[in-house]
């Protein structure tokens, strides 16, 4: 993925023209439908296209090669939502890797990146990681590790976390605390997960008993 005569840099990005819209769908298929008043309209077909971050799309349109490692998590769409949806977000919030072309500098006797004016004129970049006032390229070996770990496939959140409290997720074998319900305050051990429910061992009056309760009622200890 690393081309010759290029170097990768970590850059900090700013807000886009619409700061409330972080992602967009690219490469999707559209269908025609009839709206109110018989007006013909177009809409994106569900399940088509690829969701990308707006800053990533805009930099690509300007001709830059970029890399934005992401991961997913289960979140409620709003305070009124009853179920969680899988959403994506950057591993390094506010940062993206950009490949810059290089040419040989006879004074420094090394390959040096150029084209910074064009990058800064996009209005999307606030800062570039520098050392002694000069942009510092990410070592090639480190970039290759990043590509190998996160390139091509997003780090996805386990399906089981869909039914758990955000940032309080747990797995089988963990110690947890009952946060709500009639058993609130009890410390338990998670022995199994069954869809939206968790099977736990609960110590009541010195005797362990197995109970199945909603996973949303538990928090990792």
Counting residues of the chain whose pLDDT is more than 70, the rounded percentage is 95
Question: Total domain count for the chain?
Answer: 2
Give the global pTM.
0.71
Contact 8, 138 (CB under 8 A): yes
54: helix, strand or coil: helix
* pLDDT tens by residue, 169-183: 999 999 999 999 888
Tell me whether residue 55 is in a domain.
yes
Predicted pLDDT at 15: 74
Claim to verify: residue 143 and residue 170 sit in the same structural domain: no
- Between strands 30-34 and 110-113, the pairing is unpaired
- pLDDT value for 53: 86
115 with 26, same domain: the answer is yes
List pLDDT tens digits, range 110-156. 888 999 999 999 999 999 999 998 999 999 999 999 888 887 555 67
Predicted confidence at residue 199, as pLDDT, reads 95
Residues 210 and 139 in one domain: no
Domain range enclosing 21 = 6-150
Domain of residue 87, CATH code: 3.30.70
Q: Are residues 110 and 163 part of one domain?
A: no
On whether both 190 and 142 belong to a single domain, the answer is: no
Mean pLDDT of the chain: 87
Query: In this structure, is residue 1 part of a structural domain?
Result: no
Mean pLDDT to the nearest integer, 83-107: 89
């Amino acid at each position: 993925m690393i081309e010759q005569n290029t170097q990768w840099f970590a850059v900090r990005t700013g807000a886009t023209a619409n700061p409330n819209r972080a992602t967009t769908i690219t490469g999707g298929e559209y269908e025609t439908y009839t709206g109110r008043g018989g007006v013909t309209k177009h809409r994106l077909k569900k399940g088509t296209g690829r969701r990308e971050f707006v800053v990533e799309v805009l930099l690509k349109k300007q001709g830059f090669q970029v890399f934005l490692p992401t991961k997913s998590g289960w979140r409620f769409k709003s305070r009124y939502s009853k179920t969680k949806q899988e959403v994506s977000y950057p591993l390094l919030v506010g940062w993206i890797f950009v490949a810059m072309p290089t040419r040989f500098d006879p004074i420094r006797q090394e390959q040096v990146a150029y084209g910074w004016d064009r990058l800064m004129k996009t209005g999307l970049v606030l800062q570039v990681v520098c050392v002694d006032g000069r942009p510092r390229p990410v070592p090639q070996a480190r970039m290759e590790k990043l590509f190998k770990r996160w390139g091509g496939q997003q780090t996805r959140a386990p399906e089981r976390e869909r039914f758990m409290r955000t940032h309080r997720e747990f797995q089988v074998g963990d110690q947890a605390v009952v946060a709500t319900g009639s058993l609130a305050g009890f410390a338990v051990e998670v022995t199994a997960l069954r869809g939206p429910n968790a099977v736990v061992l609960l110590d009541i009056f010195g005797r362990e008993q197995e109970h199945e309760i909603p996973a949303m009622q538990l928090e990792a200890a």
